[in-house]
Amino acid sequence: MVRALVRWPGAILCLGLLAAGCGMNSIDLPPPPAEPPVYRLAPGDKVSVQVFGQPDMSGQFDVNADGMMSVPLVGSVPARDRTVAEIRQDLAGRLDRFIVNPRFTVDVVSYRQIFVLGEVTKPGGYPYSIGLTVQQAVALAGGYTRRAITDKVVVTRLTDNGPKEYGVTPRDAVLPGDTLDVQRRVF
């Protein structure tokens, strides 16, 4: 048995390198939190404000680069890092100055883009839609290249503590503003 191993040192070396190389295809990052974070607005989002009986105050408003929304009569409303409920509460106080007992709705009309990078056919920015998964985002980007690691993707997500990287599977959810990076396999 020992002689057989001595005769095939090249084969043993190749097997060892192959086994070591297989480990380089995995992504050792923590999974995303079980509960998705509460959605907070950011530049690139579009918000609809519909004030009952007041078409001049109603409309769709972009969250601009400064994180503000410009609403007629009300003026600039801070939107960055705020939830829809927080915007609604803020607008209730502001609209109360112009309308007695204002009734209105606030909804997100369109979300900021997601970005798909790395080993995909068409890397770039793509529109977000509710319920989007990693697999669907990769499909938007033209699918995986032949060199892609397909069972795990690195997603960079903005958290309260800044950007954080997670290892996600094709079935995991994507959030607005996420950047997906499909890694390249070694073999």
Bridge partners for 86 per DSSP: none
Q: Is 44 helix (H, G, I), strand (E, B) or coil?
A: coil
CA–CA gap between residue 100 and residue 102 (Å, rounded): 6
What is the token pair recorded at 103?
Answer: 């009734």
pTM: 0.75
> Which residues lie below 8 Å from residue 9, measured CB to CB, with a gap of 6+?
none
| Chain position carrying tokens 């502001």 | 94
Please give the average per-residue pLDDT across 22-33, as a whole number.
64
Residue 32: is its pLDDT beyond 90? no
The one-character DSSP state at 166 is E
Q: What is the helix (H) or strand (E) element at residue 149, kind and residue range?
A: none
Which residues, other chains included, contact 20 with Cβ-Cβ below 8 Å and sequence gap of 6+? none
Average pLDDT (18-30) is: 55
Query: What is the location of CATH 3.10.560.10 in the chain?
Result: 111-187
User: What does the pLDDT average to over 173-180?
Assistant: 95
Facing residues of 55 across strands? none
Rounded mean pLDDT of the chain? 86
Start-end of CATH 3.30.1950.10 domains in the chain: 46-110
Whether CATH 3.40.50.300 fits 111-187? no
How do residues 91-129 score in pLDDT, each as one tens digit?
A: 999 999 988 999 999 999 999 999 999 999 999 999 999
**Going by DSSP bridges, is the β-strand pair 179-182/114-118 parallel, antiparallel, or unpaired?**
parallel
If you average pLDDT over residues 133-145, what whole number do you get? 97
* pLDDT, position 43: 93
CATH H superfamily, domain 46-110: wza like domain (3.30.1950.10)
| Segment 38-49, tens digit of pLDDT | 788 999 999 999
